[in-house]
Structure 1
Amino acid sequence: MGVIASLPEAVAELVRDGATVALEGFTHLIPVAAGHEIIRQGRRDLTLVRMTPDIVYDQMIGAGCARKLVFSWAGNPGVGSLHRFRDAVQRGWPAPLQIEEHSHAGMANRYVAGASGLPFAVLRGYVGTDLPVHTATIKPITCPFTGEVLTAVPALNPDVGIVHAQRADRAGNVQMWGITGVHKEVVLASRRSLVTVEEVVDELDPRPGAVILPSWAVTFVAEVPGGAHPSYAMGYSERDNDYYLAWDAISRDRAAFTRWLEEHVLNRVPAT
């Protein structure tokens, strides 16, 4: 499919209250603009999934979008805690937040299982941790061939998978390069998907090591220049380190966060 649409149109079509939504990105190509559009559209009771939730999930949680977070690490990278996340878990503001915690390997394998059409993934992991005690979606499984006790985790098939990439062509084929994390896996695992891109071009020229998501794997493509800010898009933008540092003080205080949200998200209308 890979239909070209505006960001507001794509989010309105894809993201419903109560949906399971994954916005993936590992330091690079994080779909921040899409997260802000979800906030603007007032979505609620979302189950947010991500290997490494950082400030965009902190913002979505603080805005009241989330009911549950499925993750393997959470923080403001290089700075410290996510204070809106902590406030929701510890004090239920602005709404109580359930958590389901895994390891990085467990989350990555759950996406791979989902993308492969399998019901669960098997890995050597979680040994020596207390995660299986606290997370119901981590179970022991015995290998039928060797008798070794391994760990099983259920496949992840989000209702909507959202990633950012460098570019797409007008047919909806997507091209990305650099640190691509689990971009491919989350798009293939999700029931429907949105890829925001720096630009839409007439033709995709070859790039060493580039990942191609064919148009049949993508539901919507939205051209959103700078859509990963404050993270970066290799070849297009640099990481805005000052933003991450400033976020720590903003997010510590509910009133400061609320003012920031009004000024920088709710009162900003993206180009259509």
Structure 2
Amino acid sequence: MADIVSLREGLAELVSDGDLVAMEGFTHLIPVAAGQELIRQRRKDLTLARMTPDIVYDQLIGAGCARKLIFSWGGNPGVGSLHRFRDAVEHGWPAPLEIEEHSHAGMANRYVAGAAGLPFAVLRGYVGTDLPKHTENIKPIECPFTGEQLTAVPALNPDVTVVHAQRADSHGNVQLWGITGVQKEAVLAAKRSLVTVEEVVPELTPRAGAIVLPSWAVTAVAEVPGGARPSYAQDYYERANTSYQEWDAISRDRERFQEWLADQVYGAEVKS
């Protein structure tokens, strides 16, 4: 059964310096509060994995928490570049950042292989692209039945996966719905997992289309209302588009970013 913990306790127990950490959520249910708590705990040398790193990964990179990023697209959605990400890659500030780039299908299939206990995944998606020239973890493979040239990518098994969901029950069973991306696969592929939720309820109510992560598949659950803001949690709150627009100006300048970090992250009251 998953433990019910505070956000601070959960991350302190589950995430260590140097870990491979996946924080998934595809435009929706992004675990922003958890990412900022990792900054407060001053984690370092992390390998961060995410299909679509957006502003919370920009914050983690700018705070010096990351040494490598495994991803398939990076940007401030609807606005433009991630300036802390670019500064780390282009200028090594605050520390050099190694990158490993994949397609969306490649990243998703890496999690699926990890969740299934397989060593690698096979797909067609990379054929005809330049990604295999730049990413060592993309290899050609021949189908033993047809001779077709395909591509293999290794399973992705994070040390820790962190996701956000709408609710969990007191036993640690988790329920999420709406756009869910690869949260389920990323949790099942991980050695350890933390799910932050909008609320912990006595019992989960069946809901059409919802995904349930059973308590045996989750290490810990933390109740963190608003834990996905400024992204959205369907049926709880909407996306705060102005926050993404404001982040562009904040993140462009190192000094302004550091002031934001001191005020909004290190100086913020932790509510969980």
TM-score tier after normalising by the smaller chain length: over 0.9
CA distance in 1, matches of 2:265, 2:238: 21
* Runs of 4+ off more than 3 Å: none
Paired position in structure 1 for 2:153: 153
Paired position in structure 1 for 2:78: 78
Number of matched pairs: 272
Amino acid at match of 2:90: Q
Q: Secondary structure of the equivalent of 1:228?
A: coil
CA distance in 2, matches of 1:240, 1:271: 20
Paired position in structure 1 for 2:187: 187
Paired position in structure 1 for 2:262: 262
Paired position in structure 1 for 2:55: 55
Q: Deviation of residue 269 (structure 1)? A: 2.9
Q: Deviation of residue 24 (structure 1)? A: 0.3
Paired position in structure 1 for 2:171: 171
Deviation track 1:92-127 (CA, whole Å, cap 9, x = no partner) reads 000000000000000000000000000000001112
Paired position in structure 1 for 2:227: 227
Deviation track 1:190-237 (CA, whole Å, cap 9, x = no partner) reads 000000000000010011100000000000100000000000000001
Amino acid at match of 1:239: R
Unaligned runs of 5+ in 1: none
Q: Deviation of residue 129 (structure 1)? A: 1.1
Paired position in structure 1 for 2:44: 44
Paired position in structure 2 for 1:143: 143
> 2:32 matched to 1:32?
yes
CA distance in 2, matches of 1:139, 1:15: 30
Amino acid at match of 1:45: D
Deviation track 1:220-270 (CA, whole Å, cap 9, x = no partner) reads 100000000000000001000000000000000000000001111111131
CA distance in 2, matches of 1:134, 1:182: 24
Q: Deviation of residue 31 (structure 1)? A: 0.2
Deviation track 1:116-154 (CA, whole Å, cap 9, x = no partner) reads 000000001112211100100000000000000100000
Deviation track 1:148-182 (CA, whole Å, cap 9, x = no partner) reads 01000000000000000000000000000000000
Paired position in structure 1 for 2:19: 19
Paired position in structure 1 for 2:67: 67
Unaligned runs of 5+ in 2: none
Q: Deviation of residue 271 (structure 1)? A: 2.0
CA distance in 1, matches of 2:68, 2:201: 37
Query: Percent same amino acid at aligned positions?
Result: 76
Alignment of 1:179-258 (within 5 A): 179-258=179-258
Q: Which moved more, 1:159-168 or 1:120-129?
A: 120-129
Q: Secondary structure of the equivalent of 2:44?
A: coil
Q: Secondary structure of the equivalent of 1:68?
A: strand
Q: Secondary structure of the equivalent of 1:147?
A: coil
Paired position in structure 1 for 2:3: 3
Amino acid at match of 2:170: R
CA distance in 2, matches of 1:271, 1:163: 18
Query: TM-score scaled to structure 1, two decimals?
Result: 0.99
What is the root-mean-square deviation in Å for CA atoms of aligned residues?
Answer: 0.5
Paired position in structure 1 for 2:124: 124
